[in-house]
Amino acid sequence: MDLPGPVVAAVRGARRILVLTGAGMSAESGVPTFRDAQSGLWENFDPSQLATPDAWADDPPFVWAWYAWRLHLVRDVAPNAGHRALAELATHRDVTIVTQNVDDLHERAGSEVAAHLHGSLTELRCADCHEPYDGEPTLSPEPVKRLDPETCAACGGDVRPGVVWFGEMLPEAAVATTEAAIEALEPGDVCLVVGTSGIVFPAAGYPAMALAEGATVIEVNPVDTDITDMCHHAIRGTAANVLPALVSAVA
């Protein structure tokens, strides 16, 4: 894939690269995004019924069944060439990855992830005493209607997924790490925004913060998004196509 010269020059010359990824990063691994037409999770499931503390309080088995399916799916798929390209880029440049994704595909491709802004599907904890759950949960290969959550050994409470639901605060450490990484950006650095619709804050506000620090903001997405207009460059392509081309151009 041919990339615009200024994009290659910006990444080649960058002292530091901050990468912000969203669901599109994992799409080519077979993990559905949230808002893509037809395939998006929020096109087929109601987030108010599955991704809020009230939904969990109302009916833990209904909510857990959905996450037990998503966790089964994430364990079943593999990192794609885009994940692998970012891991390789980090061997040539100072790369910091912050992600909105709750899968562990960056890590399984060999990347270190500085922050999981929306938590992690693979981290389970007690909804009552917050004790981490390190047992082997019953998962489901299909999105079944109901599945009893695991039980906390410490207090008997229900075990929930370690993801951030709508209305919940983001993990303080993840936000602090991300904002520090952005504040450390200088003119000549690059902020690579891959596979996000740029709708959900605070993550959606991070490209503008990187811009304000003087970084060159480059979007990788097949389509225009809410943040396209603020980017210096918008590469219309997929993560698994664009990122390997970018890494081979700068390595």
Residue ranges for the known binding site are: 67, 70, 100-103, 126, 129, 152, 155, 195-197, 221-223, 239
Q: Which is nearer to ligand APR, 152 or 235 (CB)?
A: 235
Contact pick of 126, 192, 215, 243 for Zn ion (by CB under 5 A): 126
Long-range contacts of 232-239 (CB under 8 A, 24+ apart): 232/6, 232/10, 233/4, 233/6, 233/7, 233/10, 235/3, 235/4, 235/7, 237/1, 238/24, 238/27, 238/28, 238/82, 239/21, 239/24, 239/25, 239/27, 239/28, 239/80, 239/82, 239/83, 239/194, 239/195
Kindly identify the residues of this chain, within the stretch 22-61, that bind ligand APR according to CB under 6 A. 22-24, 27-28, 33-36, 40
Beta strands in 13-126 (DSSP E): 16-21, 94-99, 113-116, 119-126
Which among ligand APR, Zn ion, none contacts residue 239 (Cβ within 5 to 8 A by kind)? ligand APR
Q: Which is nearer to ligand APR, 116 or 157 (CB)?
A: 116
- Size of residue set near Zn ion by CB under 5 A: 8
Q: Which is nearer to ligand APR, 25 or 65 (CB)?
A: 25
- Binding flags for ligand APR, 119-158, as an x/- string (CB under 6 A): ----------------------------------------
Binding residues for substrate: 67, 70
Contact pick of 1, 78, 144, 155 for Zn ion (by CB under 5 A): 155
Collect all residues with Cβ–Cβ distance below 8 Å to 175 and sequence separation of at least 6.
Answer: 115, 117, 202
Q: For the beta carbon of residue 45, count every other beta carbon within 10 angstroms.
A: 15
72 classed as catalytic: no
Q: Which is nearer to Zn ion, 98 or 124 (CB)?
A: 124
Residues recognised as catalytic: 118
